Structure 1
């Protein structure tokens, strides 16, 4: 199973993007392929979920872990498959979707492609109250960290492993990114100083 891929974005089509990783092109279905246009021919990090069926092996891609978590929750609902889940993510602001689920807003949920009243009710039944404080709210592609600063990514992951919340780290990540050329250890020290202020 794959968690994410780091590679060069080489192609965008109406339903997919292609990431070139060591000479292999990975075809990845994403919610809004053209939202990736600004990152064409650059190194990107994309979170993925692999679906293996008898007739196909498919990769579904996400801007961040939150969007992936939302996708996984959606496909856990009876009646929602991977393509429907991507369509829901593409059509909604994720925060609005989560609020609609938590508030049992069936009318809002039935606006999504392939979601009828029965499926909307099942979404509420299965998912209401299951989103954490940060929710599964996505960020825009332009806010996503470029894959090139591996030391910063390692530092953020290490801080999360130490128990710091993603929301706390998000607040300081842009400041840290401005300090180019640091090692992971130096980023961690700098992050701790920023959080102590």
Structure 2
């Protein structure tokens, strides 16, 4: 229904961002909200997908079309819903996820909430050879701030993606050993520890 929304980024939370356009603030669920944190107050274009359920209308957002297209592809796999697809997309770039699928990295796919052995196999079976990599290098976001804040906000974001308190407690000490300059970097580092 909506291809994209162009407006001002008003707020970033562990679960979603709020984009205001035409006097309306849209709640947009994104794979990793903190990748947008440095853009708060700025205008941005976010590609969207509206998922309508009997009890909800949820707007999902993506930084570019390749990310949106990968989300749409993941939803076609039996056993994958929006929450699982968002958790997978939060790990890295679309190219990184596609590479894991193309290389039949079952262990990588099984580390996500709601993705077991059967679902991981289904993702690879359904999507291998059907996805296109962009070849774009991953984009890094840097910002200054409080180190402990980065880690605590990242843990909230990972919990929102469906990881358990036990899993997050396990990786918290690992996060304290790596150099982190933003919440986005902390989320990415945490996801790497979780999928190892």
Using the alignment, how far apart are the partners of 1:3 and 1:53 within structure 2?
19
TM, length-normalised to structure 1: 0.67
After superposition, give the CA deviation of every residue in 1:18-62 in whole Å (9 maximum; x if it has no partner): 000111010000011111111001110000000011111110000
- 2:113 aligns with 113
When residues 88 and 57 of structure 1 are mapped into structure 2, their CA distance, relative to the original with a 3 A threshold, is same
Is residue 18 of structure 1 aligned with residue 18 of structure 2?
Answer: yes
* SS of match in other structure, 2:28: strand
> Retained in 1: the 8 A contact 2:98–2:133?
no
Which stretch shows the higher mean deviation, 103-112 or 120-129?
103-112
Give, in angstroms, the shift of residue 133 of structure 1: 4.9
Which 5+ residue runs of structure 1 have no aligned equivalent?
A: 143-197
Q: Which has the larger radius of gyration?
A: 1
Is this contact kept in 1: 2:102–2:124, CA < 8 A? yes
Unmatched segments (≥5 aa) in structure 2: 142-196
Q: 1:122-158 deviations in whole A, cap 9, x for unaligned? A: 00110000012537x785386xxxxxxxxxxxxxxxx
CA RMSD of aligned residues (A): 1.8
Partner in structure 1 of residue 33 of structure 2? 33
- 1:59 aligns with 59
Q: Does 1:122 align with 2:117?
A: no
Aligned to 1:73: 73
1:60-80 deviation per Cα after TM superposition (whole angstroms, max 9, x unaligned) = 000000100111111111111
TM-score when normalising by structure 2: 0.67
Q: Which has the higher contact order (CA 8 A, sep 6+)?
A: 2
- 1: CA distance, partners of 2:90 / 2:101: 16
Give the 3 Å change call, closer, same or farther, for CA 11–31 of structure 1 in structure 2: same
Q: Secondary structure at the match of 1:38?
A: helix
Q: Using a 3 Å threshold, how does the CA distance of structure 1 residues 111 and 93 change in structure 2: closer, same or farther?
A: farther
Does the C-alpha gap of structure 1 residues 113 and 55 become closer, same or farther in structure 2, counting only changes over 3 Å? same
Question: Equivalent residue of 2:67, what SS?
Answer: helix
2:93–2:138 CA contact under 8 A, matched in 1: no
Query: Aligned pair count?
Result: 141
Larger deviation, residues 33-42 vs 89-98:
89-98
- State how far apart, in whole Å, the 1-side matches of 2:26 and 2:34 are: 17
- Judge conservation of contact 1:64–1:138 (CA < 8 Å) in 2: no
Q: Deviation string for 1:105-133 (max 9, x for gaps)?
A: 21121122221100000001100000125
